[in-house]
Chains A and B, each alone.
Chain A
Amino acid sequence: MTLLWGFLWGVAGMTVIAVGAILGVWWERKVAARIQMRYGPQQIGPFGSLQMIADVPKLLFKEDIIPDSADKPIFKYAPLFVFGPIAVSMVVIPFSAGWAPLNTSVGVLFFLAVPSIEVIAILLSAWASHNTLSTLGGIRATAQMISYEVPRSLAVLAIVLLAGSLRPLDVVDAWRWWWLPLTFIAFLIYFIASIAEMNRGPFDIPEAESELVAGYFADYSGMRWASFMMAEYGGMISASLFGAALFLGAGWPFTGALGVVALIVKTIALMTIVMWVKWTLPRLRQDHLMSFCWKVLTPLALVQLVIVGVVLPWL
């Protein structure tokens, strides 16, 4: 029965991401336009909100081009495994106090582990395209995603250490407002590393439109291309939800239905900051990106762990 529920929640996760991606694209266009002193979409529907209704059928009916030299089976199905793990990882997020779709004792580890399957899928789709730009993009994406997993996991470890549990619901229950200043460095590291994991600006080196065309998904079109975009927005939604739940106290200071609303508001705020960062900062260079991860974020995450370790016996 648990398995069936898990499957149903997986489907629900995919639906949330698909709808979230549609709304997210509209919101991003508005945010980007505001930052660049433009209006953004405004012709279709109120505030241009129905623009995506026009865009989705376009993607659905666009010709699905598969290059002759591509490794066809891998090329066709790899996008599914880019998008799927992100949707599955959402099932452990505690949406309100005492309730998560899948309440497991290793939820935090699950959230960090399952999206790592996406890395393989990205590499496979890059390889299957059989072109230089895609291969370069795939290698860059993998190096970036694997490297940033380290500070990200270490940052989450600080919260796990404080809560004494890997169960997200236990973390939410144990959360106190003073964790916010105590784990602020960890939150910043988690947030920055999550943006890098999503391959979004200023960490969009694997896609780098101006040099790699679109990197690992340069050869994709139509719905297969949309799967990559949905994975990007899905990553943004799930990372923001997880960050809001673990680092910002989920529904705090409210409980019940208001708590869920508070969690959603915090998530939207985090997503907006992710967009703000993308449309403000220029793209990093590959070597700067790696140095930043290994020489700044990882040592800082270790310092945060030591701080929590020192404070822990006094709590």
Chain B
Amino acid sequence: MTLTILAFALSGLLMAGGAAVVALTRDLMRMVIGLGTFLLGVAGMFLFYGQAFLATAQVFVYVGGVLVLFVFAVMVVHRSSGGRPVLESRHDIGAAVIALGVSGMVILSLQDSVGGWLPASASGGAAIATELLGGHLVVFELLGALLLAALVAVLVIVGAGERR
């Protein structure tokens, strides 16, 4: 039990530490590392709640996929000064207001849903699959189509830029 609490505390610490790094540093690469730390903490939280599938998917998709895109973007960004890429300007107060607003919106909108269609916390990957490919199949497929459309749009825009 103590070890479980320790794991929970470690996940929380990773999340808080990662978020603090993202919010406080100006060095882009350190921000990305902070974000990665935060995402690993979230995976730890999923594990704590018995959602091994979600935790693994979190590492696979977000740490191994999305975060790589971030690092990629930072790496290919033009370094005019030859030094480390840093955030030249930031709007701390505005960003904090938006972050609080979005958090409030997400919490309020999810408040009614929890216990409704979301699978119970004890259920595993099978329950999530049944939900996504059962009752919410149409929404799931629409989201997939939207992502595909975005991908094709990016290709068209990049292609047009290259032709020019």
Listed in ascending order, the chain A residues whose CB lies under 8 Å from chain B are 1, 3-4, 71, 74, 104-106, 109-110, 112-114, 116-117, 119-120, 123-124, 126-127, 135, 138-139, 142, 146, 149, 166
Contact = CB atoms under 8 A, between A and B. Distances in A.
B68 A146 contact: yes
A142 B56 CA distance: 20
Contact of B64 (A74, A105, A119): A119
Task: Tell me if A's interface is mostly helix, strand, loop or mixed.
Answer: helix
Interface of B: 3-4, 6-7, 29, 33, 36, 52-53, 56-57, 59-60, 63-65, 67-68, 71-72, 74-76, 84, 124-125
B33 to A, nearest CB: 7
Contact of A139 (B64, B76, B124): B76
The 8 A-B residue pairs with the shortest CB-CB distance in the complex, in nearest-first order: A116-B64, A113-B60, A123-B71, A109-B56, A113-B59, A3-B3, A113-B56, A106-B56
Contacts, number: 74
A120 B60 CA distance: 12
A117 B64 contact: yes
Nearest to B67: A120
A116 B76 contact: no
A57 B59 CA distance: 36
Task: Tell me if B's interface is mostly helix, strand, loop or mixed.
Answer: helix
Contact of A109 (B7, B33, B60, B67): B60
Contacts of A105: 52-53, 124-125
A166 B36 CA distance: 26
Contacts of A71: 29, 84
Given A3-B7, A120-B63, 18 more contacts: A71-B84, A74-B29, A105-B124, A106-B52, A114-B59, A116-B64, A117-B59, A117-B63, A123-B72, A124-B29, A124-B33, A126-B75, A127-B74, A138-B75, A139-B72, A139-B75, A142-B72, A146-B64
A130 to B, nearest CB: 9
Contacts of A109: 53, 56-57, 60
